[in-house]
């Protein structure tokens, strides 16, 4: 397979290494595309065993030229979320299949453009939901499929982002809702996709509330940071701020971002307490599914710990899964748990709770990435996926529709009925 990648920021590196190194024998990277010459050159130089003049690189306006000249079979899209649709649609109409980072896109207009192009061209769109491939999450899918707790009636799901990871969404382009869809689209697309997949269902009605409670100018004042600057680099309050991101001290960030600023003016270290941030940091969502199940979902982006808690209520009992990724954040330092970081407890009615030995794996995202990359770039060498972890444009659409409907509910103060929302926007989408 011949691949091209558009977007050479931090996100693309996993895909580039898979294509050119881990699965280089079966695949070829024929082109790179980005808005920034510096990032293009860095990415191209990192590719091993290049012959001739090396990898072909193109600026963003030359994307169609790259497709015409290099003729990739598929395009990997790792640009900022609000630009996904432009490249997904252009690639499909040029005769290419697409592999895109989550979320597939950010709003209904962009979603319709992708769905219309896919219907017209028949090309495939894969959305890379690596959370499905985490062994512990796959194990949950198997237990639910087996009927271990009967019919699932309700789910309680809390996701905690700590003050290092969570803060990072408020210093980048993600902090503007028109760029990312807010955390309920950009981040929660992973979580809503998991629930859709676990339940084998799709959202029917969505209600939500949200606010920006922590990443505000008032918090900076409370912390004694009134003299803060617009960004961490050269900020007069930097030495007193636990939220400082020192781009110069991190080699990778320095090369990709700080030393590339003069080309595109993109600042990776904007102040997390700026007044112009338009996304929420605290959200609660209630979802009713076509299956009849219900979901209560909470996302907090300034928690003292990082991880998740999910509880399934079934007609035969309960299944509880908890993953503590980071114990706490103190002055910007993170402490990872040593024991019992991940637990799963099955409690069947009439029996004592039973602690289940959790499936584990090696590699990033709890062992998910190596498994997912194998299915993406060397599927013939992988065993049959009896869990249905692969994600199409349909899965990508349903994963963001919960967040989009939640944003609509927050804006209107009313429940959003998904079918009505789709109909009003001329979107046709098969149910899961």
Give the per-residue pLDDT at 49: 78
The domains of the chain are located at 2-127, 131-214+278-361+391-424, 217-264
CB under 8 A, 24+ apart: contacts of 373-377? 373/14, 373/18, 373/22, 373/23, 374/23, 375/133, 376/18, 376/99, 376/126, 376/128, 377/1, 377/18, 377/19, 377/22, 377/23, 377/26, 377/27
Give the per-residue pLDDT at 52: 63
Tell me the two tokens of residue 16. Answer: 């580039």
Give the per-residue pLDDT at 365: 84
Q: Give me the phi and psi of 359, to 5 degrees please.
A: -65, 140
How long, in residues, is the chain? Answer: 432
Q: What is the mean pLDDT of each run of 10 residues along the chain (432 residues)?
A: 96 96 95 96 90 85 98 98 98 98 98 98 97 97 98 98 95 97 98 98 98 98 96 96 95 93 94 98 98 98 96 98 85 72 96 96 89 96 96 98 98 98 96 80
CATH topology of domain 131-214+278-361+391-424: Dihydrodipicolinate Reductase; domain 2 (3.30.360)
Q: Give me the phi and psi of 297, to 5 degrees please.
A: -125, 135
Indicate the Cα dihedral angle 222, 225, 230, 233, nearest 10°.
Answer: -140
Give the per-residue pLDDT at 331: 59
Tell me the two tokens of residue 366. Answer: 């709890």
Give the per-residue pLDDT at 120: 98
Distance in angstroms (rounded) separating the CA atoms of residues 293 and 153: 4
Is the CATH number 3.40.50.720 carried by domain 2-127? yes
Q: Give me the phi and psi of 270, to 5 degrees please.
A: -65, 155
* Strands of the 416-417 sheet, one edge to the other: 354-356, 342-348, 317-326, 306-314, 152-162, 294-303, 282-289, 203-211, 416-417
E-strand spans in 22-80? 28-34, 56-59, 74-77
Give the per-residue pLDDT at 330: 65
- How far does Cα 289 stand from its chain's mean position? 22
Q: Which residues contact 344 (CB under 8 A, 6 or more apart)?
A: 136, 139, 140, 319, 320, 321, 322, 355, 356, 358
Distance in angstroms (rounded) separating the CA atoms of residues 314 and 151: 5
On whether the CB atoms of residues 208 and 184 are closer than 8 A, the answer is: yes
Distance in angstroms (rounded) separating the CA atoms of residues 105 and 111: 6
Give the per-residue pLDDT at 336: 79
């Amino acid at each position: 397979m011949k691949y091209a990648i558009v977007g050479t920021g931090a996100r693309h590196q996993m895909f580039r290494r898979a294509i050119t190194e881990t699965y280089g024998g079966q695949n070829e990277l024929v082109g790179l595309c980005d808005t920034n010459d510096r990032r293009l050159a860095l990415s191209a130089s990192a590719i091993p065993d290049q012959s001739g003049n090396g990898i072909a690189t193109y600026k963003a306006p030359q994307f169609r030229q790259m497709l015409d000249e290099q003729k990739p079979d598929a395009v990997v899209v790792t640009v900022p979320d609000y630009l996904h649709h432009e490249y997904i649609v252009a690639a499909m109409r040029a005769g290419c299949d697409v592999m895109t980072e989550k979320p597939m896109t950010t709003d209904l207009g962009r979603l319709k453009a992708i769905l219309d192009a896919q219907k017209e061209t028949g090309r495939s769109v894969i959305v890379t939901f690596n959370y499905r491939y985490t062994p512990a999450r796959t194990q949950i899918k198997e237990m639910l499929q087996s009927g271990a707790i009967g019919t699932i009636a309700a789910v309680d799901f809390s996701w905690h982002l700590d003050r290092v990871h969570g803060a990072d969404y408020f210093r980048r382009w993600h902090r503007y809702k028109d760029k990312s869809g807010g955390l309920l689209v950009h981040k929660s697309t992973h979580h809503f996709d998991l629930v859709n997949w676990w339940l084998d269902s799709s959202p029917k009605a969505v209600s939500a509330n949200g606010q920006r409670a922590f990443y505000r100018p008032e918090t900076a004042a409370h912390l004694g940071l009134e003299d803060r600057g617009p960004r961490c680099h050269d900020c007069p309050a930097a030495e007193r701020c636990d939220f400082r991101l020192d781009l110069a001290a991190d080699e990778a960030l320095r090369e990709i971002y700080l030393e590339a600023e003069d080309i595109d003016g993109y600042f990776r270290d904007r102040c997390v307490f700026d007044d112009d941030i338009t996304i929420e940091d605290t959200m609660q969502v209630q979802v009713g599914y076509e299956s009849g199940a219900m979901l209560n979902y909470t996302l907090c982006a300034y928690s003292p710990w990082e991880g998740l808690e999910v509880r399934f209520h079934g007609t035969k009992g309960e299944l509880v899964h908890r993953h503590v990724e980071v114990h706490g954040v103190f002055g910007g330092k993170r402490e990872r748990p040593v024991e019992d970081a991940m637990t799963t407890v099955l409690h069947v009615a009439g029996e004592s709770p039973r602690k289940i030995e959790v499936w584990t794996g090696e590699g990033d995202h709890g062992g998910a990435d190596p498994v997912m990359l194998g299915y993406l770039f060397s599927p013939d060498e992988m065993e049959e996926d009896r869990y249905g972890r692969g994600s199409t444009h349909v899965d990508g659409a349903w994963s963001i529709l919960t967040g989009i409907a939640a944003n609509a509910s927050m804006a209107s103060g009313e429940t959003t009925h998904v079918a009505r929302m789709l109909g009003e926007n001329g979107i046709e989408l098969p149910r899961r």
